[in-house]
Amino acid sequence: MRALVFDTGSIISLVTNNLLWILPPLKKQFRGDFLISEAVKGEIIDHPLKTKKFKLEGLIIQDYLREGVFSMAKNIYSSKKTDELLNLANSCFNTRNHPVKIVDRAEIETLMIVLENKAAAMVIDERTLRLLIENPEKLQKVLESRLHTKMEINKQNVAKFKEMTKYIKIIRSTELAYAAYKLDLLNKYITANKVLDKTLKKELLEGTLWALKLKGCSISSEEINEVLKMG
């Protein structure tokens, strides 16, 4: 199935930066589905609609779901298999002989949808799950710095988790924004009186990437500089 599967954080990054509108033209270019799980829907639509602080964002995202920009993923995975993968992920690292919880169920449900649908990529801004898949040794150092304690890595569980997820490709909201930039979708922000100010193109890209970083996307300043060199 040609699809991108979105986690909660990536959608929040886009909607809080007024960038959710880039998804329809990107979806048209991609020629596939943009999927979310029931758990993600609960976090970005159902729960926000019950609040005052995030109700507007919830309404905006709900509209995208109703218009078909997002589609609900079929829950073809089993709860048992989801629980197994969740428990495996949360037993990859230990401190003082106790496992450390590093991911939640919504993230693993998204991961399961990617696996079951053989999706093109998983769109996730949160750093922990991405590093668990791509670089668990770096994640160990991040956790030690965050928790201020020595972290033991369960190599057997990490190897098993990596084997189960080795074909998964991870992208972030910043990659989507860069694609929108290359398609000139963001030019409207530097166009006045129907005249494009090309001298602001680099600032446009830099401002977009930093806005996403400061609203939750896990991208380093070094990575941003690399993207800026690509132009």
* Per-residue pLDDT tens digits for 131-177: 999 999 999 999 999 989 999 999 999 999 999 898 899 999 999 99
Q: Which of 206, 214, 208 is nearest to 176 (CA)?
A: 208
> Are 141 and 208 within one domain?
no
Instruction: Give yes or no: residues 55 and 29 share one domain.
Output: yes
**Do both 142 and 85 map to the same domain?**
yes
Domain co-membership, 218 together with 151: no
Pair 67, 114 in one domain: no
Q: Which of 23, 48, 25 has the alpha carbon at shortest distance from 35?
A: 23
User: Does 158 share its domain with 194?
Assistant: no
| Total of domains in the chain | 3
Amino acid at position 170, single letter: I
Same domain? For 91 and 108 the reply is yes
Q: Same structural domain for residues 50 and 96? A: no
Banded model confidence at residue 117, pLDDT cuts 50, 70, 90 = confident
Averaged pLDDT for residues 107-121: 90
Tell me: pLDDT of 105 over 70. yes
Q: Is residue 62's pLDDT more than 70?
A: yes
CA distance 54 to 136: 33
Helices 127-134/155-164 angle, 10° precision: 90
Position 79 scores a pLDDT of 79
The residue-averaged pLDDT of 48-76 equals 94
Say yes or no: 58 and 92 in one domain. Answer: no
For residues 191 and 113, membership in a common domain is answered with: no
Q: How high is the pLDDT of residue 231?
A: 80
The pLDDT of residue 121 is 95
CA gap 112, 116 in Å, rounded = 6
Q: Which of 118, 2, 11 is nearest to 65 (CA)?
A: 11
Q: List, for residues 72-89, the tens digit of each pLDDT value.
A: 997 666 778 888 999 999
pTM confidence score: 0.91
Range of the domain at 191: 173-230
Percent of the chain at pLDDT exceeding 70: 98
- DSSP for 73-96 reads PP--S-HHHHHHHHHHHTTSEEET
